[in-house]
Amino acid sequence: MKATDLLKQQHREVEELFREIEGAEDEDERASLREELANALAAHTAIEEEIFYPAAMEALGPSGRIREAFEEHAVADFALYRLMSVSVGDETFSAKLGALKDIVMNHVEEEESELLPQAEGEMERDQLEQLGDRLSARFSERLAEGHRPILERSLGIAARQVATQAPGAKKAAAPRKRAPAKRQAMPKRAAGAAQRGAAQRGTAKRGAAKAAPAKRGAAVAQKRNGGAAAGGASRTQARKTASTQKAPAARGQGASRTQSQSGGAARGGQAGGARGAQKGMARGGGARGQAVSAPRKQRARG
């Protein structure tokens, strides 16, 4: 069978599985059909990516349509993962199934209308038949493998979560605990240096803690001394100002007393001179009286 015919046949099988799931009324039947759909769809996308797309690119050359097909497969794998993560009785099951169906049917339509006809036009019939045989053998292998390993390779950790959350799935083995890594012993010299460094840092911190109150005390004392000095300076300045003001007053009072004394002395001298003059005049008058009275006496005697 040609590769293109084989792929179209698988497309029809997937479409039929979608219809059967949508029409199933029993949950057990729906769960069985879902498992069959997941295995067939995962195996189909795997053989296309591994065998058919590389052969088509070799025959057709670099093709944007083939690159889009790879991306569409990635989206379909993720939608399949979401479908397998809930039970068939979940209220979101039908919505997830419908989303997956739309993605797959759109991909199938574009592939059958564009890519497959181009491959048949560029590749010989014998080449297509040989390619079909390879695809059929690989499909059987992937189908037996199941969808979970395929999704693990496609989606990584998300697929492993599917395996643990899907109904009826076996519990994954618990991861082994790693033994804590042993710390490498420090050389004695390095350990000693580290201890000394830690001790020095501790001493410096204690010294800084002790110095902090001293600094605060010094600051307070400095403020007090500054205030006292300012007060002393203010008082000294006041005393100087008062003494300066008193000095001219004292000098003025001294001058006044000196002037008063000088005036008194002058007045005393004047008074004394007047009295001396009066006395002298008195004495002089007496002498002149005596001189006048003497001749008179002499004449009287004669």
Which pLDDT value is given to residue 282? 39
Closest C-alpha among 22, 191, 169, 49 to residue 107: 49
How large a percentage of the chain has pLDDT more than 70?
52
Structure tokens at 252: 């003025």
Rg (CA), the chain: 66
Region 260-276: mean pLDDT is 41
> What residue ranges do the domains of the chain occupy?
3-165
Whether 163 shows a pLDDT value over 70: the answer reads no
Q: How confident is the model at residue 39 (pLDDT cuts 50, 70, 90)?
A: very high
124 or 181, which is more confident: 124
Residue by residue, DSSP assigns 132-184 as HHHHHHHHHHHHHH-HHHHHHHHHTHHHHHHHHHSTTPPPPPPPPPPPPPPPP
Q: What is the pLDDT of residue 65?
A: 87
- Rounded Cα distance between 197 and 192, Å, is 8
From its phi and psi, is residue 146 left (phi > 0), alpha (psi between -120 and 50) or beta? left
Can you tell me the mean pLDDT for 105-123?
A: 94
Q: Which residue has the higher pLDDT, 170 or 12?
A: 12
Name, of 16-25, 177-186, 206-215, 227-236, the range with top average pLDDT: 16-25
Give CA–CA dist 83/283, Å, rounded: 166
pLDDT at 200: 61
Which of 96-110, 188-202, 231-245 is predicted least confidently?
Answer: 231-245
pLDDT digits (tens, 9 = 90+) for 46-102: 999 999 999 999 999 877 889 999 999 999 999 999 999 999 999 999 999 999 999
Of 5-14, 44-53, 143-152, 215-224, minimum mean pLDDT range: 215-224
